[in-house]
């Protein structure tokens, strides 16, 4: 977790920070993360689909996303929203249900800065268990943001 006064990690686990500007208004980018039908259009790394996107958008509300590989393999992600401030900020837990990180809870914070016709998104993914987990999540988020960009611009 990040200390809000110093913006420093509270523990020694790796922290992933990414910033990306999207060619869409802040409300549209926020909706892409919080409306199941919009999220299902882009969520996951390139080549994945999202057959299940359930979102109870409130502090204490849960979410579940199933990401499907082309061969049919499913990667299930669940968590609980800790903070919801439309269209400015989301904070939620992140738990894989299978694989090497099954059951490990990490924390995602997404901030949406209004730049008029564009939006600057800052993602902080912390409490990751290892540098390798941080690298894998960076690859996944980066690819997913490419898919989001295509979805928002219609490319």
pLDDT tens per residue across span 92-128:
999 999 999 999 999 999 999 999 999 999 999 999 9
Question: Which of 57, 33, 49, 19 is CA-nearest to residue 148?
Answer: 33
Query: Could you tell me which residues are beta bridge partners of residue 19?
Result: 122
- Of residues 36 and 1, which shows the higher confidence score? 36
pLDDT for 121: 98
Q: pLDDT tens digits, residue range 35-90?
A: 999 999 999 999 999 999 999 999 999 999 999 999 999 999 999 999 999 999 99
Residue 101 backbone dihedrals phi, psi, to 5 degrees = -110, 20
**pTM for the whole thing?**
0.91
- Cβ atoms of 126 and 106 within 8 Å: the answer is yes
Closest-CA residue to 84 (of 65, 103, 104, 112): 112
Distance CA 149, CA 155 (A): 8
pLDDT(5) > 80:
no
């Amino acid at each position: 977790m990040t200390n809000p006064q110093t913006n420093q990690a509270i523990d020694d686990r790796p922290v992933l920070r990414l910033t990306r500007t999207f060619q869409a208004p802040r409300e549209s980018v926020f909706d892409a993360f919080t409306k199941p039908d919009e999220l299902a259009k882009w969520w996951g790394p390139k080549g994945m689909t999202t057959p299940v996107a359930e979102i109870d958008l409130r502090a204490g509300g849960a979410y579940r996303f199933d990401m499907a590989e082309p061969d049919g393999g499913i990667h299930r992600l669940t968590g609980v929203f800790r903070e919801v401030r439309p269209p400015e900020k989301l904070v939620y837990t992140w738990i894989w249900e299978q694989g090497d990180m099954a059951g490990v809870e990490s924390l995602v914070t997404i901030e949406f800065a209004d730049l008029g016709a564009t939006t600057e998104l800052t993602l902080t993914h912390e409490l990751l268990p290892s540098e390798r987990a941080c690298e894998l999540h960076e690859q996944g988020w980066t690819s997913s943001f490419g898919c989001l960009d295509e979805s928002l611009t219609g490319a």
